[in-house]
């Protein structure tokens, strides 16, 4: 029996060691360090600037198109339409415009000035004649007094004076009317003919130019699905398109954003300037940095989601986008909604609840002590502890 007492002591020590080791295996230390809370939302990647490409022609037949999804530069040809009708009319309109311009210039610079000059010369001659005849009449009257000529000769001279005066006045009136009415009217008619010819020529040139649709900026050519005859598809060579019909879009893929809908219950977590990480679903190995750019001022219902729930549309800037990204891609965004440099952290699985009060169990020596906690924010793995535990405390995992 003497050996029994040492055996019991060894057994009790072993049990104590095993029990303490077992307890320590199911504990984790309370730590301190940087604490972050990320909120996750689904959305889509879009171009910030999307230009609609459409035809300026009333109807036109497509003769050439760039491939769908092509990267284009500003000024590159996107589509070409059949220009044969306007190209046939162009030489005739150019000739008509050249003739109208020549006629206008010769009229304004030569014909009308010469006509005015002729009237002025004849008017000056008539005035000179009137002056001479008037002097001759005065001389005739003096001669009549001296009985050197007859009264009949004086009357004949008076008729010549009246005739010269009438001619001078007629030419003066003709000059004034020509300047005020006739020449302006002729000039306006010639100007209108020239303007009409120029307009017709410019319209034809514009039609020829509009037969080539060029990229207004750098981007990616994305064709729209359109009703074409009895089909619904993208356009191809031989199709007819109409004026102001959007044929394709040209998103600027160098300036991308992401849009997502944030539930109104999370609105306090998402603010302008918050850091964000964007992950395209098509490329799960890609992550792009960004930041919250704007949050809608009004909550709205979202199609396909419960009508009783409201969301705030949120726009997130995508920094340094990759060439593999496409407008409309589905993506997931993680928004940094809370961050603290030196936070006391406890594992989530170490916390249990009595109503709304958080508790944890702390291992002190061989004792387990229940401790109430005042917690802050939480992420997927930890809670921030405001009061209740200190870094280094070991808490029982549940």
Q: pLDDT at residue 58 above 50?
A: yes
H/E/C letters for each residue in 324-335? CCCCCCEEEEEE
Q: Quick one: 245 and 181 in the same domain?
A: no
pLDDT in tens, 161-199: 999 999 999 999 999 999 999 999 999 999 999 999 999
Task: Name the token pair of 121.
Answer: 């010369």
pLDDT digits (tens, 9 = 90+) for 227-252: 988 899 999 999 999 999 999 999 99
pLDDT of residue 20: 45
Q: Which pLDDT score, from 0 to 100, does residue 323 have?
A: 85
269 and 385 both lie in a single domain: yes
Q: How many domains does the chain have?
A: 3
Given a cut of 90, is residue 1 above it in pLDDT? no
Q: Given a cut of 80, is residue 291 above it in pLDDT?
A: yes
33-53 residue pLDDT tens: 999 999 999 999 999 999 999
Residue 243 backbone phi and psi in degrees, to 5: -60, 140
Whether residues 360 and 283 share a domain: the answer is yes
Please say which residue of 226, 251, 276 terminates a domain: 251
Answer whether residue 8 is part of any domain. no
Is 168 contained in some domain?
Answer: yes
Residue 22 lies in a domain: no
Q: Is the pLDDT of residue 30 over 80?
A: yes
For 87, the token pair is 């190209």
Please give the mean pLDDT across all residues of the chain.
91
Same domain, 266 and 227: no
In 3D, which of 333, 314, 321, 329 has the Cα closest to residue 253?
321
In this structure, are 263 and 391 located in the same domain? yes
CA 180 to chain CA mean position, Å: 52
Query: Is residue 261 located within the same domain as residue 392?
Result: yes
Q: Kindly state whether residues 389 and 333 are assigned to the same domain.
A: yes
Residue 270: give the domain boundaries.
27-47+255-396
Does pTM top 0.75 for this prediction?
no
Ranking 18-22, 71-75, 126-130, 140-144 by mean pLDDT, the lowest is 18-22
Give mean pLDDT, residues 5-15.
41
Cα–Cα distance between 256 and 46 in angstroms, integer? 6
- Give the end of a domain, one of 176, 209, 242: 209
pLDDT tier, 25 (very low <50, low <70, confident <90, very high otherwise): low
Residue 7 lies in a domain: no
* pLDDT > 90 fraction of the chain, expressed in percent and rounded: 82
On whether residue 15 sits in a domain, the answer given is no
- 224 and 161 housed in the same domain: no
pLDDT of residue 366: 85
- Judge whether residue 14 has pLDDT over 80: no
Whichever domain contains 340, its CATH number is: 2.40.30.170
The beta strand positions in 183-245, using DSSP E, are 212-214, 219-220, 222-223, 226-228, 231-233, 240-242
* 178-187: pLDDT as tens digits: 999 999 999 9
Q: Based on the domain organization, do 224 and 272 belong to the same domain?
A: no
Residues 238-267 have a mean pLDDT of: 93
Closest C-alpha to 256, from 333, 332, 328? 328
**Are 172 and 289 in the same domain?**
no
Mean pLDDT of all residues in 84-103: 96
């Amino acid at each position: 029996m003497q050996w029994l007492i040492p055996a019991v002591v060894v057994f009790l020590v072993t049990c104590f060691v095993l029990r303490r080791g077992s307890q320590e295996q199911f504990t984790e230390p309370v730590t301190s360090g940087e604490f972050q809370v990320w909120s996750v939302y689904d959305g889509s990647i879009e171009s910030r600037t999307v230009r609609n490409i459409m035809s300026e022609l009333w109807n036109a037949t497509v003769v050439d198109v760039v491939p769908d999804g092509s990267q284009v530069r500003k000024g590159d040809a996107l589509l070409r339409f059949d220009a044969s009708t306007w190209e046939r009319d162009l030489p005739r309109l150019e000739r008509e415009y050249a003739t109208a311009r020549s006629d206008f210039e010769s009229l304004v610079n030569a014909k009308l000035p010469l006509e005015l000059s002729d009237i002025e010369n004849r008017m000056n001659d008539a005035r000179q004649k009137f002056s001479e005849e008037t002097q001759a009449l005065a001389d005739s009257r003096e001669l009549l007094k001296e009985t050197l000529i007859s009264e009949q000769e004086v009357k004949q001279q008076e008729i010549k004076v009246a005739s010269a005066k009438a001619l001078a006045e007629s030419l003066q009136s003709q000059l004034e009317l020509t300047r005020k009415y006739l020449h302006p009217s002729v000039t306006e008619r010639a100007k209108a003919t020239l303007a009409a010819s120029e307009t017709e020529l410019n319209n034809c040139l514009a039609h020829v130019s509009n037969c080539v649709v060029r990229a207004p900026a750098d981007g990616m050519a994305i064709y729209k699905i359109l009703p074409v005859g009895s089909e619904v598809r993208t356009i191809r060579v031989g199709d007819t398109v109409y004026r102001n019909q959007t044929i394709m879009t040209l998103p600027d893929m160098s300036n991308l954003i992401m849009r997502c809908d944030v539930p109104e219950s999370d609105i306090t977590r998402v603010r302008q300037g918050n850091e964000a990480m964007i992950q395209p679903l098509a490329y799960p190995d890609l992550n792009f940095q960004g930041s919250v750019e704007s949050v809608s001022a009004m909550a709205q219902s979202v199609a396909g989601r419960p009508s009783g729930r409201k969301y705030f549309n949120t726009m997130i800037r995508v920094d340094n986008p990759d060439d593999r990204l496409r407008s409309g891609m589905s993506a997931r965004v993680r928004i940094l909604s809370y961050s603290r440099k030196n936070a006391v952290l406890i594992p989530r699985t170490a916390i249990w609840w009595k109503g709304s009060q958080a508790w944890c169990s702390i291992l002190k020596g061989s004792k387990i002590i229940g401790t109430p906690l005042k917690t802050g924010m939480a992420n997927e793995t930890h809670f921030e502890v405001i009061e209740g535990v200190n870094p280094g405390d070991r808490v029982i995992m549940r």
